[in-house]
Amino acid sequence: MSLRVATEHKLAIRKSRKLSTIPTAKRTGKPFTVYLADDLSHALAEVSKKRMVHKSVIVRVAVERLLNDLETGQLELPLGI
């Protein structure tokens, strides 16, 4: 929408400002698809909403912690996993 104001010599035009959007984080790394059970998916969505953090960030931190715990011997997985 523009507003036109008549002046003595020329027509002044005021252009509407565009609304700024929240910038999204630039994605880096390889994409990885994870399929979750419905209850885990809903729990992840709730935590994401409550903490105001994107779901991918929560999953990334969880994977980093899991790998760190496995590497340091803090966690042992059953055979086959």
The reported pTM is 0.61
| 20 occurs within a structural domain | no
Q: What are the phi and psi torsion angles at 28 (to 5°)? A: -130, 160
Scan for tokens 């999953």, then name that residue: 59
Which residues share a beta bridge with 15? Answer: 2
Query: Is 44 within a domain?
Result: yes
What is the tally of structural domains in the chain? 1
Is 75 within the bounds of a domain?
yes
CB 18 within 8 A of CB 33: no
pLDDT tens-digit readout, 7-37: 666 655 666 666 666 566 677 788 889 999 9
Per the structure, the complete domain to which residue 35 belongs is given by 29-81
Token digits of residue 50:
């409550």
CATH of the domain at 63: 1.10.1220
Residue 10 lies in a domain: no
The residues, any chain, with a CB within 8 Å of residue 16's CB and separated by 6 or more, are 1, 2
Asked if the structure places residue 50 within a domain, the reply is: yes
**Which one is predicted more confidently, 55 or 11?**
55
Q: Which of 43, 35, 1 is nearest to 18 (CA)?
A: 1
